[in-house]
Amino acid sequence: MGEGPLALGIVEEPELPLFNEGVEHLNAVSGSEASTLRENGDDTGLESFRKSSVDTRMASDLSGAAREEDAGPDHQEICLPAITYQQISPPAVASSDCRSVVLHWETAREELLGDGSETEDTRERPKQSFVLELQQVGTHRTPAAEALQRVADDSWAGVYSGEDCTVMVSGLMPGMAYAVRLRCLLEQGDSDVVAPLPSDAILCQTVPCTPSAPNPVVLSGKERRALKLKWPVPEETGGFDELQYTLEICPPPLDAMHQLHPQGFCAVYQGEKNSVKVAKLAPGVKYLVRVAARNELGYGPYSNVGEFKTEASVPSQPYPPSCCGVGPASVWLHWPPAQCNGADITRYIVQKAPTSDPGNWEVVYAGQELSCEIRSLQTAERYLFRLGCENDIGKSVFSSPLEVRTASSPPGQPSSIGVDSVTRTTAFLKWHPPSWDGGEPVIHYEVQLYPKSAAALVGGLAQQWFPVFQGLETTCTVHGLRGGCTYRAQVRGFNLIGAGDFSQATEFTTAPEAPEGLPPPVISQCTQGGFELVWEPPQFDGGAPINVYTVECWDVAQKLWMPVYRGLTTGCNITGLLPGTEYFLRVGCANSHGDSPWSIPCSGRTAAAPPSPPKPPMILSTSGSGVVLSWKPPPGNGLPVTGYVLEQARIREDSTVAFEQLYEGPDLSFEVKGLRPFTEYGFRLCASNSAGKGAWGPVAICRTDPGPPGAPDHPEAVTQGVDHIQLRWSAPGQTNGSPVTGYTLELGSVSSKTRKISLWTQIYRGPSNSFCIADLSPGREYAARVRAENGIGVGAFSQPVRCYTSPAPPEAPVGLSVVHRGSKSAKVKWEAPAEDNGSPVRRYKVLLARSDGAHDSALKDTDQYEWKAVYEGPETSARLSGLEPGSQYVLRVLALNSCGDGPACAMQSFATSLAPPPKMEPPAASVGVDSSSGVPKAHLAQIEVRWQPPEIHQRHAAAIGFEVEVTDSRAQAGLEKGGQGPEKGRHLITASKGACRCVVAGLPGNRQFGVRVRAVGADSAGHSPWSEPATVCTPQLEVSECSASRNSSAEADADEDRVGKQPPKKARQRKSKAQKGKGDVDAASEAHRAKAGSVQPARSAAAKPRPKKDQLISKKSAARLWQTVAAVLALGLLVFLTLLALRTDRGPTPFQQQLSYMDKEWQAARRQAMFQGDGSLSDFMTPGIQRKLEQLQELWQDAQLYMERGLEVPNSILQQIEELDIPPEVIAALEESAMAAQPYGDLPNMPMDDGNVIYHDHRLEEEDEEDDTDIDDDAEYY
């Protein structure tokens, strides 16, 4: 077994108690040196080493006692020798088992070292605790000497720490040898002690046992009939290096069926190797594998069972199929499933071959079923059948063949029966024997007859097959037939098996004869001068077609039958008879073979006749739309006329007429209405009585008078443009007797929502049949209709036609404005055009050009500019970047749709703001003693700073002031190391425009300061970059001066703390609007100072008392404040009433736009008044703003409590401050008031040579961000 680090369940060594430094050093030195002496076997040296260690400790104690004696006589005490302990005895093994050992030991024995004095030692003995350590050094068969040589100093592992002297160490491995040693730890006390050395190492062994279960077997390779398996060595061998393995598998291999385990496992390997190849396995079979290890003590437990599967193979050879049924032409086969060998069988294949040619195999079945029926076999023949199968791997070997003979069958069909000769009553038939007798000879034939004609069903015959002959002959004669009838005959053969199939039926007809007699005729209708007679044909025509029917009528006067009809139809119309007279009728027929008997006569009476045809109606009068007709009664043919029927027809150019009924009644006149003008019509009459309607009389023709023209066809759009539509129409089809003289064209409006036509407007009247409608709106839908007129009048309108103008580019966008501008960027917005001209706007294009400002007053001549597209997209606003500072620009916007670019809107000019002043040169700084403190001897230093104003270039703003920053190098170094709190040692000084020097006083001596300067740009242009810093050192002061300087520095620090507790500028200006307005307020402050005077007296706490916090409005501005409040309330009331009255969905009216413009003008005037006033809050303070400032003061007091405690201000307070939305002008002016109200009187003011006051601010101003940082990032081009 291995000898690596020991792995135990209780290996972790607990923390040991701390000892005094002397004991720890002594134990460490003594332990290492003593171990070296012990290994060398030098017992004498070991003993001398121990005595020298004790003497050294005692000498140290004596020197300490001597020092105590020097302190005084009251501190003398007796010195006792140190308490030492002998080397602790090694532990002893009390008992052991497979996984644990019980050890016990004795406590450390005391050894007194000294001069042998008999002074009683009453010192308290330290408490002993023990640490038990061990390491694995071999197995139970390793010799003791070799095991002890394997002990390594760095391999000890603590297994116990405590005060007990008996412990059981568990978690050991069976059959292993371990080295054990004991260390004694002494609790630290007042007495001097020397800890004992660790004990010598002893050996202990655990009891060996059987090995543990190996890990599960793993698969290293597999074949169709073999598996390659391997397994690791067990984690515990039981203390033996040599192991034997037994591998078992289930199901067993093919040659090991007699070695089965009760659980189904079979041992396939026993030996020392931990890998084996198991052969003679079945392909595609899942096997269960387990392994057990064995040492000298016996077998260990089995490993977990592993599942492995051999590779699949082709199926095994199947068994031959079995025959489960035989027919004359079919065989039923079935078979058991074949062994698939790991891959499912996809199909079975059955092949057949005749016994006469056993090598001619053909596939008769392929499928997954285990049975099949093989058809289309010959009767009484022998066949060979064999079975094969296949899977995804391949095909198996075919089984041995199975021989099957088909059964015998009845004979086959005889040949078609033939008719040799026929008469009216007989027929001679013959046939040929069948080609296949079914394996048995024919014993007789049977002939059957079927009467197809209904006339043949005489003498009790039915329309079905009946036998007429049985015998061995192949001919027969059939008697008792009827002439002219059709029959069908068939024949079949018989053998010992049974009757064969009938032959195909043969149809024949006997010779014809005369037809049968007809049934009596039927009079279907009696007319005014005859009859309509119908009859049925004879039931049997004698086998020949009827060639004539004859009808005879009985003449009462002449007493004889008179022929009245002869023909082929079964009905006739007999005319020329007298009305109301009775007649007798009969009918007969004949064919080519004779006449039939006469039918039984029928009788009937003729009907009365209707009236004669009337004469043509007379035309009494005509008009453009009607005719008045009249007529006379015709003869009634013996019955009075009871009514008339009048019909009309329009005579067309092709002379075709189509009559339609106009009137039916007894009147003799009728007025026809609704006729077409100048059109010919025909009219006819017929009369009726109780006998019926008479014939139609002659047609009367007349023409209506001329009238207005008809409606033309609907107009057709020939061409469609953006603003015009060319219409064309054809002349009306009916001019109605008068030529067309002109046309009227009307145009209708179509609603875009409902698409209904309304508001027809006449746009043309003239003789032309085309017209171009101009001045239309693009992309709109219109409706058009036209009507014609002639000399008679105006015709009807045509059907309206819908037409469309072509879409066009959209109109120009509206409302172009510059909503924000900076030095290098600007934001513009616009509104969609009023009309998209039939195609929706897809995107907008912004064109920008540089302008010199000379021609911008007119803004009409666009060709003088070099336009450049800076934005193209669907939004109605854009951000323009990359502009030049202080430059004039003109821009315009155009809309685009699917038709192209629309016109651009009116040009809009704007100018970018100037860039901040350029970077200044480093300032010049000189140091000196502060002379402004007013004391006889200066205690503080001062720095005089001089600078040169920057050279203002084109497009840069002029400098309206300067800022000087003085930074203490020590404070800066502390801040860079992560310091927090107020920025002590950093001074920001603001100077006016004309100043080029300043003095920073009240500075400590012997310090290094960095000085830099920057310019403040006019018109909110921002600050220039800081100049490069200049470094200067204040002079070294005397001791008294340093003390005074420290006091002054402490006062300055206190002032800086008070300043640091003020609201941070970033918290007061969280909104981007407030950041933007900062430059304006700074400029206003500088302007106010300049207006107040170039020389102001220095401020001090005694000269001017500090104002109260809530005193924000000066008394002298109260009148102006209330005037402003009244104006704001009046304007707000006006805006509210106007919006309430004009609230609609149609957008802003011109009055609303004017009102918005007035509001903007008022806002601009209010901002201007702020800069023109005295700079106090009263210049623009309103009650609403005053209330917001009171809320801001309360929130700031809450935030100040957090900052005084060094905590971060909660976001909720900052959010409430931000939601107040105080205008940036008020915030900036509030800063000015706060600057004036700050307790700067405690600090010395620094007047310059020209008398300007320098405000000394300990807070470092943040650099202004770029002036266009708050522009929305809608789009960025250019």
Q: Are 957 and 917 in contact (CB under 8 A)?
A: yes
pLDDT of residue 1080: 41
Kindly report which listed range (79-88, 823-832, 1075-1084) carries the lowest average pLDDT score: 1075-1084
Kindly report which listed range (438-452, 641-655, 1049-1063, 1145-1159) carries the lowest average pLDDT score: 1049-1063
pLDDT digits (tens, 9 = 90+) for 336-349: 999 888 888 999 99
Stretch 621-627: mean pLDDT: 88
Q: Are 1015 and 959 in contact (CB under 8 A)?
A: yes
Interhelix angle for 1150-1172 vs 1072-1092, to 10°?
Answer: 50
Stretch 423-439: mean pLDDT: 88
Share of the chain above pLDDT 90, in %: 29
pLDDT of residue 108: 86
pLDDT digits (tens, 9 = 90+) for 52-75: 444 444 444 444 444 444 444 444
- Sole residue written with tokens 């003390």: 1043
Stretch 1001-1025: mean pLDDT: 85
pLDDT of residue 636: 77
Distance in angstroms (rounded) separating the CA atoms of residues 76 and 67: 10
pLDDT of residue 75: 46
Kindly report which listed range (36-45, 703-712, 896-905, 990-999) carries the lowest average pLDDT score: 36-45
pLDDT of residue 252: 87
- As a whole number of Å, the CA-based R_g of the chain is 67
How many residues does the structure list for the chain?
1278
Stretch 311-333: mean pLDDT: 90
- Amino acid symbol at 829: K
Terminal CA-to-CA distance of the chain, rounded, Å?
80
Q: Is the pLDDT of residue 1043 over 60?
A: no
Q: Which residue has the higher pLDDT, 1190 or 154?
A: 154
Provide the 3-class DSSP secondary structure of residue 1258: coil
Extract the tokens encoding 1178.
Answer: 């009263």
Half-sphere exposure of 281 (CA within 13 A, CB side): 30
Q: Are 213 and 301 in contact (CB under 8 A)?
A: yes
Distance in angstroms (rounded) separating the CA atoms of residues 1061 and 981: 9
Distance in angstroms (rounded) separating the CA atoms of residues 794 and 741: 10
Distance in angstroms (rounded) separating the CA atoms of residues 33 and 30: 5
pLDDT band of 1229, cuts 50, 70, 90:
low
φ and ψ at residue 1271, rounded to 5 degrees: -75, 135
Instruction: Report CA-CA distances (Å) from 95 to 100, 135, 159, 193.
Output: 9, 18, 17, 34
Whether the pTM exceeds 0.85: the reply is: no
Distance in angstroms (rounded) separating the CA atoms of residues 519 and 525: 18
Q: Which residue has the higher pLDDT, 1053 or 1134?
A: 1134
Beta-strand relationship, 877-880 and 826-831: antiparallel
pLDDT band of 1166, cuts 50, 70, 90:
very low
DSSP tally for the chain: helices H, then strands E: 12, 73
Distance in angstroms (rounded) separating the CA atoms of residues 663 and 646: 5
Q: Is the pLDDT of residue 628 over 50?
A: yes
pLDDT of residue 20: 33
Extract the tokens encoding 454.
Answer: 């209904």
Stretch 624-648: mean pLDDT: 87
Distance in angstroms (rounded) separating the CA atoms of residues 445 and 494: 6
pLDDT band of 585, cuts 50, 70, 90:
very high
Distance in angstroms (rounded) separating the CA atoms of residues 82 and 413: 139
Extract the tokens encoding 794.
Answer: 């105006």
What ranges make up the beta strands (E) of 437-515?
444-451, 466-471, 475-478, 486-494, 506-509
Kindly report which listed range (501-510, 941-950, 1118-1127) carries the lowest average pLDDT score: 1118-1127
Name residues whose C-beta falls within 8 Å of residue 628's C-beta, 6 or more positions apart in sequence.
Answer: 619, 620, 621, 622, 669, 670, 671, 672
pLDDT band of 878, cuts 50, 70, 90:
very high
Q: Are 1029 and 966 in contact (CB under 8 A)?
A: no
Distance in angstroms (rounded) separating the CA atoms of residues 1186 and 709: 86
Stretch 524-553: mean pLDDT: 89
pLDDT digits (tens, 9 = 90+) for 907-929: 888 888 888 888 888 998 888 88
Provide the 3-class DSSP secondary structure of residue 1153: helix
Q: Are 1213 and 1195 in contact (CB under 8 A)?
A: yes
pLDDT band of 781, cuts 50, 70, 90:
confident
Task: Residue 712: name the closest of 656, 783, 784, 647 by CA.
Answer: 784
pLDDT digits (tens, 9 = 90+) for 114-143: 555 555 667 778 888 999 999 999 988 889
Stretch 1071-1089: mean pLDDT: 39
pLDDT of residue 318: 93
pLDDT of residue 1073: 38
Give bridge partners of residue 1031 from the DSSP assignment.
1010
Whether omega for the bond prior to residue 251 falls within 30 degrees of 0, making it cis, is yes
pLDDT of residue 1052: 40
Name residues whose C-beta falls within 8 Å of residue 1132's C-beta, 6 or more positions apart in sequence.
Answer: none
Distance in angstroms (rounded) separating the CA atoms of residues 321 and 399: 8
Q: Is the pLDDT of residue 44 over 50?
A: no
Stretch 652-658: mean pLDDT: 78
Taken in order of first residue, the domains within the chain and their CATH numbers are 21-116+123-205 (2.60.40.10), 218-309 (2.60.40.10), 322-405 (2.60.40.10), 418-509 (2.60.40.10), 522-605 (2.60.40.10), 618-703 (2.60.40.10), 716-802 (2.60.40.10), 814-911 (2.60.40.10), 915-1062 (2.60.40.10), 1063-1237 (no CATH)
pLDDT of residue 26: 33
Name residues whose C-beta falls within 8 Å of residue 109's C-beta, 6 or more positions apart in sequence.
Answer: 85, 86
Q: Which residue has the higher pLDDT, 254 or 217?
A: 217
pLDDT of residue 990: 80
pLDDT of residue 467: 93
Distance in angstroms (rounded) separating the CA atoms of residues 385 and 405: 11
Average pLDDT over all residues of the chain: 77
Q: Are 94 and 103 in contact (CB under 8 A)?
A: yes
CA quadruple 404, 409, 415, 417: dihedral, nearest 10: -170
| Element at 221 (helix H, strand E) | strand 218-222
| Element at 1042 (helix H, strand E) | helix 1039-1060
What ranges make up the beta strands (E) of 355-430?
362-367, 371-374, 382-391, 402-405, 418-422, 427-430
Task: Residue 140: name the closest of 204, 200, 210 by CA.
Answer: 204
Q: How many CB atoms lie within 10 A of CB 221?
A: 10
Distance in angstroms (rounded) separating the CA atoms of residues 606 and 621: 43
DSSP for residue 25: H
pLDDT of residue 5: 33
Task: Residue 896: name the closest of 831, 817, 835, 840 by CA.
Answer: 840
pLDDT band of 381, cuts 50, 70, 90:
confident
CA 628 distance to own-chain centroid: 82
Stretch 863-880: mean pLDDT: 89
Q: Are 219 and 228 in contact (CB under 8 A)?
A: yes
pLDDT digits (tens, 9 = 90+) for 691-722: 888 889 999 989 888 888 988 988 988 888 88
pLDDT of residue 112: 58
Distance in angstroms (rounded) separating the CA atoms of residues 194 and 113: 11
Residue 583 exposed, middle or buried by CB count within 10 Å (0-12, 13-18, 19+): buried
Q: Are 351 and 385 in contact (CB under 8 A)?
A: yes
Distance in angstroms (rounded) separating the CA atoms of residues 479 and 1039: 171
pLDDT of residue 1067: 37
Q: Which residue has the higher pLDDT, 679 or 1093?
A: 679
Provide the 3-class DSSP secondary structure of residue 471: strand
Task: Residue 565: name the closest of 540, 586, 594 by CA.
Answer: 586
Q: Is the pLDDT of residue 401 over 90?
A: yes
Q: Which residue has the higher pLDDT, 1052 or 770?
A: 770
pLDDT digits (tens, 9 = 90+) for 755-774: 888 889 999 999 998 999 99
